Structure 1
Amino acid sequence: MAAGVELGFAAAAEGPGGAWRLRSAYFPSKVGGRPAWLGEAGLPGPAALRCGRCQQPCAFLLQLYAPLPHRPAAFHRTLFVFACRGAACYRLPGPRGPLCVFRNQLPRRNDTYPEEPPPEEPPPDPAPAPPRRLRCGAALCRVCGCLGPRACGRCRRAAYCGPEHQALDWRRGHRRACGKGDAFIGYSDSLPEHNEFLFPEYEILIEPEEPEFPADSNVDPDDEQGAADTSKGPKEQEELRATGSAGKK
């Protein structure tokens, strides 16, 4: 039996507190913003996230939670897609393209998430801001949310994936706040929700595709005449059948 088809629809988070569903602990499917990493091991580094044509950093495009419960090692499984922001790269030839796709998976029993599904109700406290670091201590880029091995040379607190995003954040306000007392500590410990590098963030709502014909229908979907006949009343159907019989003689 063929697998069913599922459709995804991009939807804005409901209300100011709706972003809680887009955090890693709720196994989201989403478009834009920063990636909600599933696990912490084996994450792609800055070199793997550069466009194969212009060599600029790719932006996080979307992620899909696609678990395989029958495979113990992939009980939790998320696919991540990154895309170059340069339109010209989609027209240039070459063996490597402007898209990157990665898979992250975990068994049901792991060191990051409980075995039971997450609650469907919002948390009692406001949704936390995007994390600045992973639980293992690895820093995330302030601009894109990917691994950030590069640190600001002055304050050593702000992390970046490379010089491009360090320069972008410097222009956006890090230059004014860098190293300036308590105000800077609060600035560096939180990530701004949006910037011009990121795609707009939406939740992906997934629903099964409705079949064109009910499962108990006797109509052959490939039989256009049969499909037309079912929309007629009994008298009209009898007239159509008579016309069809006359045409076959």
Structure 2
Amino acid sequence: MSNKLGNDTDSDVSELDPKELSQALSFDKYAPQLGYAEDPETPLTAETFPSKSGGKPAWLNPETILAAEQVTCENCEQPMSLLLQLYTPEDQPAEAFHRAVYVFCCKKGGCVKQDWTRSFKVFRSQLPRENPYYPPPNESDDEEEEEEEFTPKSFKAPVQCVICGLGGAKACGKCGKTAYCSREHQMADWNMCRHKEFCNKHISEQDQEVIDKLRAARIFTEKEIVSEPEGKGEDLEEEESQAEFFKENNPDEPSSDSKALVLAGDEAEEDTKVDVDDVFLQFQLRIQLYPDQVIRYDRVEYDMPTREPLWVQQNYKPASIPACELCNGPRTFEFQILSTLLNYLGVNHIAADSLDWGSLFVYTCKQNCTLGKEVFAEEVLWKQDFSADGMQLGPKEAAMLRRKNAAKQ
């Protein structure tokens, strides 16, 4: 299955012109943030509060990190890798001034296909504005105003696995210096990342670069996630701009603001039922506008109405989302990870058991409840795959859905 949604030829959605797309879709004032994967220009360290996919976690709380047993695939019993972390600060409550959500995934596609509920983990972490690790931001408009002197807390940094960045509870039995989260990563480093060759020996800068690349290849490729609000796409914005220009310069010319679709041929026939997954086509129409997006961030905040994810199929939606285990309050949808991210992770798409999904939906505590002495709160993820019906959409089915959408407007 192709993960490049914008180039999908099975549904003929890519052949729709901008006007048809504009008529088929409507946008509300609560536009989601769209995330894109890019090569980082600078190191994505914790103090930069990064949003990123892959690589080692940039722990928000540098004093306490997750251990392998907390992030173990329950199918193969091996440590999972960081799939994504998003820096998502919020104004309320005060404890969530700094906030990060971490998503972990087993790299083995076979495990995800076997039982995906045992191969993903999501954790929320947060810190107040006044915390012992990061200076409070200077919120004054006076650029010359000196920031208050800040001295970060002195603590013994937790030992991290040289492969994945989880807690390194194990060490090389020979040198005792190189830390690992598990026997699996210790063996991988010894046999495939040249530690056997260089254990207890001086390592040149050039050799260290090679070793770092070999270790990085054991986890997902690191990319920075940058975001912008969803709009109507460059083509539609250009069309609207041209229409406005024409109207201003030709005030006597009649203009047509009708949203009705004019159908021709077989498409004009009355059709009361479309035997395809309408939800999938809606998904394709929306993604078409920005085909490179990998994240859709759409969290409910304050007085916003409840938000619905952009589902990829009508069936296999969660009947209910479990309440937060810490406060017993509701969890709400926060963001979804699109299959386009698979193109950036450095995974093998050809293998029969390659990692794959239609979309991953992350739900978190609506109130950002206090973590108390805990540094991490486990949250919930739901996975949808593309339906067979959806992938078989043709031009007539697409036209029928556009017609139904236009009738509602």
Counterparts in 2 of 1:183 and 1:235: CA distance versus 1, 3 Å:
closer
RMSD (CA atoms): 3.4
Deviation, structure 1 residue 196: 2.4
Rounded to whole Å, the distance in 2 between the matches of 1:104 and 1:87 is: 27
Q: Deviations over 1:155-175 (max 9, x none)?
A: 111000000000111111111
Q: Which residue of 1 aligns with 2:8?
A: none
Matched, 1:90 2:112: yes
Secondary structure of 1:192 counterpart: helix
Counterpart residue number, 1:66: 88
| Unaligned runs of at least 5 residues, structure 2 | 1-27, 140-153, 241-246, 258-409
> What SS does the aligned partner of 2:59 have?
coil
1:175 to 2:202 alignment? no
Question: Equivalent residue for 2:35?
Answer: 8
Conserved 8 A contact 2:63-2:158: no
Is the partner of 1:34 in helix, strand or coil? coil
2:254 alignment partner AA: K
Residue in 1 that maps onto 2:121: 100
The residue aligned with 2:168 is 148
Q: Secondary structure at the match of 2:160?
A: coil
State how far apart, in whole Å, the 2-side matches of 1:137 and 1:42 are. Answer: 8
How far does the alpha carbon of each residue in 1:32-70 deviate from its partner, in whole angstroms, 9 at most, with x for none?
A: 111111113553211111112221211111100011122
Counterpart contact for 2:53–2:224, Cα < 8 Å: yes
Q: Matched residues in 1 for 2:52 and 2:138: separation?
A: 18
1:136 aligns with 2:156: yes
Identity across matched positions, percent:
35
**Superimposed CA distance per residue, residues 204-241 of structure 1 (whole angstroms, 9 cap, x where no aligned partner):** 00111126899xx9xxxxxxxxxxxx9xx943649xxx
Give the aligned length: 199
TM-score when scaled to structure 2? 0.44
Give the C-alpha shift of residue 197 in structure 1: 1.6
1:81 aligns with 2:97: no
Specify every segment of 5 or more residues in structure 1 that has no aligned partner in the other structure, as ranges.
119-133, 218-229, 239-249
Q: 2:377: which partner in 1?
A: none
Deviation at 1:104, TM superposition (A): 1.4
Question: Match of 2:53, as an amino acid?
Answer: V
Q: What is the DSSP-based 3-state SS (H/G/I as helix, E as strand, rest coil) of the residue aligned with 2:226?
A: strand
The runs of at least 4 aligned residues of structure 1 exceeding 6 Å deviation read none
SS of equivalent residue, structure 1 residue 19: coil
Q: Does 1:205 align with 2:232?
A: no
Structure 2 CA distance for partners of 1:160 and 1:210, relative to 1, 3 Å = same
Could you give the per-residue CA deviations for residues 46-105 of structure 1, whole angstroms, max 9, x where no partner exists? 1111112221211111100011122111100000111101111122248x4211111111
Q: Is the 8 A contact 1:33 1:201 kept in 2?
A: yes
Preserved CA contact (<8 Å) 1:24 1:38: yes
Q: What amino acid sits opposite 2:224 in the alignment?
A: E
